[in-house]
Structure 1
């Protein structure tokens, strides 16, 4: 089994999501783990060169087009090769970190990770499991102030990733010990379900 681990927290040793992703991965036995730490090694934002290159047929792309898409191609290949994707998603200002949005922008590719059909869009990244380690200071998972989890569920589903589980250490500022204990119990339940 191959696990793709996406880390987005700018906190290193004090990151709750990094601790949760460590624990989640420890429950997934005998796995090859590929880590993409996009907080430590930030991704570029999409630009006009990328946007122009992605709509050209592959056999018509210039060397500059291929260069513009090289990182995006590598990120898509990592997702395609993964059986399970573990995403650390701390909440920054009520939504996902900009680094995670940049990753999504780079992997959302028409004709590659989704396509349009006569019945509407169809995600092409199917039969994969996603586990999101969600942490926040005051925002409750699925609360009116949570603009992260709904967006992630929608975008992942749009790409065909519909088996999504959230492990939530939310509202840490109110009850850090209790919410971490509940998150760890959720991880233990994942282990039992595996």
Structure 2
């Protein structure tokens, strides 16, 4: 099994999403002997925003397509994903490689792989929150990967990490416990 592990937090070693995504990759690797992991830290080594010249370089999309599982550390920045993650996403949405347009509209070509998102948020944006409508992170990623044909998406959330050290620790521990429940 090939695992593509992406982190997009700019918080370095203080990043909660990095800790959770690392736990997910450790769980997947332990469950599957011989798993190969490719790691990219988009926070520490961001891709430049997409330009017309970048469309000819398929390095990133080929790396994505070679993965069986994609694990993404995705903190919520301003209600959605960080721009460095968006720059990576822009490079994998390639007509003819990951999606195509046909008589019935768009069709994803990248199905058959699993995406696991370690999602962290400073506040609470879940379905029971009065500000749940502000949550654009999960909806964006689900829509984006669905467009590419990927429907097997799991979100592991750590919410309220900006609401004091006790809540941060509780959210991290709950998310780490959830990684242990991932199916082998």
Cα contact 1:141–1:168 (8 A) shared by 2: no
* Matched residue, 1:99: 84
Q: Distance in 1 between matches of 2:153 and 2:60?
A: 19
Query: Residue 114 of structure 1 contacts residue 124 of structure 1 at CA under 8 Å; is this kept in 2?
Result: yes
User: What is the rounded CA distance, in whole Å, between the counterparts of 2:85 and 2:150 in structure 1?
Assistant: 16
Q: Out of 119, 123, 144, which is 2:108 matched to?
A: 123
Aligned to 1:151: 140
Counterpart secondary structure, 2:179: helix
Cα offset, 1:129, TM superposition: 0.7
Equivalent position of 1:163 in the other structure: 152
* Greater Cα offset, 99-108 or 29-38: 29-38
Structure 2 CA distance for aligned equivalents of residues 25 and 83 of structure 1 = 12
Structure 1, unaligned runs of 5 or more: 55-68
Report the count of equivalent residues. Answer: 173
| Alpha-carbon separation, structure 2, partners of 1:161 and 1:92 | 24
Alpha-carbon distance in structure 1 between the residues aligned to 2:122 and 2:69 = 27
Query: Given the alignment of the two structures, is residue 75 of structure 1 paired with residue 60 of structure 2, yes or no?
Result: yes
Q: Structure 1 residue aligned with 2:51, among 16, 24, 47? A: 47
Normalising by structure 2, we get a TM-score of 0.89
Decide whether the 8 Å contact of 1:141 with 1:149 is kept in 2. no
74, 89, 97: which is aligned to 2:74?
Answer: 89
Change (3 A) 1:135 1:6: same
Match of 2:178 in 1: 186
Deviation at 1:135, TM superposition (A): 0.4
**Which one of the candidate residues 163, 168, 176 is aligned to 1:176?**
168
Cα deviation for residue 153 of structure 1 reads 0.4
Please give the per-residue CA displacement for 1:84-138, whole angstroms capped at 9, x wherever unaligned: 0000100111110000111111110111110012222111111101100000111
Alignment of 1:23 with 2:23, yes or no, is yes
d(CA) in 2 for partners of 1:99, 1:43: 7
Q: Is contact 1:94-1:139 (8 Å) kept?
A: no
* 8 Å Cα contact 1:129-1:164 kept in structure 2: yes
> Tell me, which stretches of 5 or more residues in structure 2 are unaligned?
none
Higher gyration radius (CA): 1
